């Protein structure tokens, strides 16, 4: 829900572009969050997220990483459940993990060379989104998966409605409401591996 003054809606030359950008970004983040961590508000039949799939693989209590071993372990858990290495898709995590991993060095005394990833880890796409879990700003979770086993359903796409009367009488404001009916379903829970307790 985006509220604005009647004056702004009538006088701004680019309000439509601003609204479109704001709504698109907010909806994309909300849909990402629904698919990753689920919807926690009291909504009937709300989607659950891949981080809470029962029967998923896990690598836990990782702590502060000094290498990409946690991702190697996650990929191994999938391969041990017969997910072909070629089918393992992107790792998804909060940008705070990117920052942590990007600063890792070789560990050799007085050597500031960035840590080199194993070839299989380097080849794996890494997608960063603030919709991924980050507890207290210090503890991240990541997920790697065969993403072909996650179904994404959309009913009628994103709907946008102008609520011109709802706030007009009280504050001379109008509102734009955007909503979507979406759901996620995993066809094979073992195709997902969450890596948890990563100190960033």
Q: What pLDDT score does 48 carry?
A: 76
Cβ–Cβ contacts within 10 Å for residue 166, how many? 14
Q: What pLDDT score does 57 carry?
A: 97
Q: What pLDDT score does 147 carry?
A: 96
146 Cβ contact list (under 8 Å, min separation 6): 78, 83, 87, 88, 89, 188, 191, 192
Q: What pLDDT score does 16 carry?
A: 85
Task: Give the tens place of pLDDT for each residue, 111-169.
Answer: 888 888 999 999 999 999 999 999 999 999 999 999 999 998 888 778 888 887 777 77
77 Cβ contact list (under 8 Å, min separation 6): 57, 58, 59, 193
Specify the pTM.
0.82
Q: What pLDDT score does 91 carry?
A: 97
Q: Which string of DSSP letters, residue by residue, matches 113-130?
A: PBPPPPHHHHHS-EEE-T
Which residues of the chain carry a pLDDT beneath 70? Answer: 40-47
Q: What pLDDT score does 45 carry?
A: 60
87 Cβ contact list (under 8 Å, min separation 6): 146, 148
């Amino acid at each position: 829900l985006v509220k604005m003054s009647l004056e702004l809606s009538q006088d701004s030359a680019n309000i439509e572009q601003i609204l479109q950008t704001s709504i698109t970004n907010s909806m994309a983040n909300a849909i990402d969050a629904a698919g990753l961590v689920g919807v926690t508000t009291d909504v009937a039949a709300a989607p659950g997220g891949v981080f809470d799939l029962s029967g998923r693989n896990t690598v836990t209590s990782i702590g502060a990483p000094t290498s990409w071993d946690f991702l190697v372990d996650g990929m191994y858990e999938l391969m041990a459940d017969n997910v072909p290495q070629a089918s393992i898709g992107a790792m998804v995590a909060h940008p705070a993990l990117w920052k942590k991993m990007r600063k890792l060095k070789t560990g050799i005394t007085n050597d500031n060379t960035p840590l080199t990833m194993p070839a299989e880890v380097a080849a794996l796409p890494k997608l960063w989104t603030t919709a991924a879990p980050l507890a207290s700003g210090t503890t991240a979770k990541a997920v790697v998966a065969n993403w072909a086993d996650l179904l994404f359903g959309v009913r009628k796409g994103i709907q946008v409605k102008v609520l011109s009367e709802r706030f007009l009488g009280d504050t001379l404001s109008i509102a734009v409401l955007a909503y979507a009916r979406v759901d996620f379903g995993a066809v094979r829970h073992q195709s997902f591996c969450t890596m948890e307790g990563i100190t960033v």
